[in-house]
């Protein structure tokens, strides 16, 4: 392999990218567009749940109980109701996700020490949001019931009582419990995988369609020289996108960074080689820009989005899908990004992910070199 030939191919590809606005838009603007769209639109946080209240008791006790919901950041009062038809209409029209019905004898039963049945109606059309909202409501119920019980015991016993068990939760690595802090790092992996594979999936296929591949075949260029030379400019674009994504994540989305920047950049370069080599392999096998681009989307976007642990936890997937995720390179880089970003872990913890990324990169690059033949037909 001669460095001069590799440099010549890289220069030719740089010129082509610079003169092709579609490649520049795909390589520079689309990653930022995806980052901002998903960063702001994709959220797993459930707060400010619209709540409609039917307070049949209308007593200080019932108002205090309702205030536990409206004062919480997880619920927002969407209005009051005076019958079940109003509640049904509010939920049907999506003005409310949840309804709280306080019975007439709420204060009387509470003061008498009798159990009080409070009704909670939830729109289950979005099961995930409904489940999380129910968890918030049950937490408020439990806290209010515990306080009422302690006050009753204090009145009867005439002494101050303390709960036998006090829970003091501590959240590590994402103390604010913001889904954005986990989504943005994982989103960087998805964007790098998709964009890098899409860019390189068009390179060799474009040469075949434009008729310039015959000229390249007639030169003394070897397959590895052609492939590495073509990867060089897209590697530069990928590094630029990576740095820009890291800056946007830090200063726009304010995602905390607790790890080593040098380690992150090193492993990101390794992942970039994986994505670029996969795109190059697809381009060589496809020989058509349309076929290569479509196959690159299927081979990168869907697995990176659905099977990498970016959105859906791998532990919750069926057993077969959990096995399949081991051949998805984005899975390992999502783990690397979240580990370095949020936990500040080093190579002593992430060595297995780094090893798998290196193996994937070497396998895809060697497969692309073996697949490329300097012959027509």
pLDDT value for 158: 55
253 and 201 in a common domain: yes
72 and 34 in a common domain: no
Distance CA 333, CA 325 (A): 12
> Is 336 within a domain?
yes
Tokens of 128: 């995930």
* Average pLDDT score over the chain: 83
Q: How many structural domains is the chain composed of?
A: 2
Confidence tier at 336 by pLDDT (50, 70, 90): very high
Residues 270-287: tens digit of each pLDDT: 999 998 888 888 888 877
> Is 268 within a domain?
yes
Residues 167-202: tens digit of each pLDDT: 677 778 777 777 788 888 888 888 888 777 777 877
Confidence tier at 376 by pLDDT (50, 70, 90): low
Distance CA 143, CA 232 (A): 60
Confidence tier at 368 by pLDDT (50, 70, 90): confident
Name which residue leads in pLDDT, 258 or 219.
258
- pLDDT above 70: percentage of residues in the chain: 93
pLDDT value for 163: 57
Task: Examine the fold and report which residue of 157, 189, 205 is the final residue of a domain before the chain moves on.
Answer: 157
pLDDT value for 356: 95
Name which residue leads in pLDDT, 326 or 218.
326
- Residue 102: other Cβ atoms inside 10 A: 22
> With 90 as the cut, is the pLDDT of residue 249 above it?
no
CB-based contact 279:201 (threshold 8 Å): yes
Which of 173-182, 300-309, 359-368 is the least confident region?
Answer: 173-182
> With 70 as the cut, is the pLDDT of residue 6 above it?
yes
Residues 75-110: tens digit of each pLDDT: 999 989 989 999 999 988 888 899 999 999 888 888
234 and 153 in a common domain: no
Task: Examine the fold and report which residue of 127, 157, 187 is the final residue of a domain before the chain moves on.
Answer: 157
269 and 314 in a common domain: yes
- CATH number for the domain including 61? 3.40.1710.10
Which residues partner with 53 through β-bridges?
80, 100
């Amino acid at each position: 392999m001669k460095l001069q030939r590799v440099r010549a191919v890289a220069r030719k590809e740089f010129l082509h990218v610079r003169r092709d606005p579609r490649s520049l838009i795909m390589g520079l603007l689309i990653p930022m567009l995806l980052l901002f769209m998903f960063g702001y639109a994709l959220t797993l946080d459930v707060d400010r749940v619209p709540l409609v209240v039917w307070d049949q008791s209308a007593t200080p006790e019932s108002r205090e109980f309702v205030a536990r919901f409206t004062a919480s950041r997880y619920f927002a009062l969407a209005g009051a109701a005076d019958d079940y038809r109003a509640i049904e209409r509010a939920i049907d029209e999506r003005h409310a996700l949840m309804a709280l019905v306080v019975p007439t004898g709420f204060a009387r039963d509470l003061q008498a020490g009798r159990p009080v049945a409070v009704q909670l109606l939830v729109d289950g059309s979005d099961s995930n949001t409904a489940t999380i909202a129910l968890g918030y409501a049950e937490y408020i119920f439990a806290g209010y019931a515990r306080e009422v019980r302690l006050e009753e015991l204090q009145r009867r016993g005439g002494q101050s009582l303390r709960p036998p068990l006090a829970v003091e939760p501590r959240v590590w690595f994402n103390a604010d419990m913001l889904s954005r802090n986990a989504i943005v790092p994982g989103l960087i992996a998805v964007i790098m995988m998709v964009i890098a594979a899409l860019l390189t999936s068009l390179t060799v296929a474009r040469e075949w369609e434009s008729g310039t591949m015959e000229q390249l075949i007639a030169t003394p260029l070897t397959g590895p020289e052609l492939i590495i030379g073509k990867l060089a400019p897209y590697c530069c674009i990928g590094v630029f996108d990576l740095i820009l994504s890291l800056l946007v994540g830090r200063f726009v989305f304010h995602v905390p960074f607790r790890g080593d920047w040098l380690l992150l950049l090193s492993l990101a370069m390794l992942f970039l080689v994986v994505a670029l080599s996969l795109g190059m392999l697809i381009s060589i096998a496809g020989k058509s820009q349309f076929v290569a681009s479509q196959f690159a989307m299927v081979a990168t976007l869907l697995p990176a989005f659905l099977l990498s642990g970016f959105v859906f936890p791998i532990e919750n997937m069926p057993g077969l899908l959990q096995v399949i995720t081991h051949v998805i390179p984005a899975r390992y880089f999502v783990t690397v990004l979240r580990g370095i970003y949020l936990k500040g872990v080093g190579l002593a913890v992430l060595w297995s992910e780094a090893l798998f990324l290196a193996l994937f990169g070497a396998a895809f690059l060697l497969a692309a070199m073996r697949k490329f033949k300097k012959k027509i037909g």
